[in-house]
């Protein structure tokens, strides 16, 4: 069993955990934690499946992950700002099931 195999398997399990949490968790912040867990899993998968060149891990995959990390933190920061305002306005930390309608 090689290093890559270990991380590929761990990453897919972590991705699954993230999907599970995103669907099952109630608290919006926990959903955001789940999304961040998922993105870490995606990044690890991205680097490991891309393989290595003579000079280390595939440089394109490394660059994509770096870009992805910054995008993930940006999206999280915006989501948190929205979350804080939502809680201030409604006092609720979860999305009610029936909110498609109403005023």
For residue 21, the minimal CB distance to other proteins (Å) is 2
For residue 93, the minimal CB distance to other proteins (Å) is 5
Considering only residues 9 to 38 of the shown chain, the ones binding other proteins according to CB under 8 A are 9-38
For residue 97, the minimal CB distance to other proteins (Å) is 10
Which residue from 7, 5, 1 is spatially nearest to 65, judged by alpha carbons?
7
Rounded CA-CA distance 95/13 in Å is 27
Angle at 60 between CA 62 and CA 34, to 5 degrees: 45
Considering only residues 57 to 76 of the shown chain, the ones binding other proteins according to CB under 8 A are 57-76
Number of residues that bind other proteins (CB under 8 A): 100
């Amino acid at each position: 069993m090689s290093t890559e195999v270990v991380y590929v398997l761990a990453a897919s399990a972590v991705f699954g955990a993230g999907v599970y949490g995103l669907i099952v968790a109630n608290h919006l912040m926990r959903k955001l934690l789940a999304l961040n867990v998922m993105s870490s899993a995606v990044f690890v998968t991205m680097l490991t499946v891309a393989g290595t060149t003579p000079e280390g891990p595939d440089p394109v995959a490394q660059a994509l992950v770096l870009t992805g990390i910054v995008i993930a933190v940006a999206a999280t920061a915006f989501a948190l700002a929205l979350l804080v305002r939502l809680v201030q306005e409604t006092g609720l930390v979860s999305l009610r099931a029936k909110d498609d309608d109403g005023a």
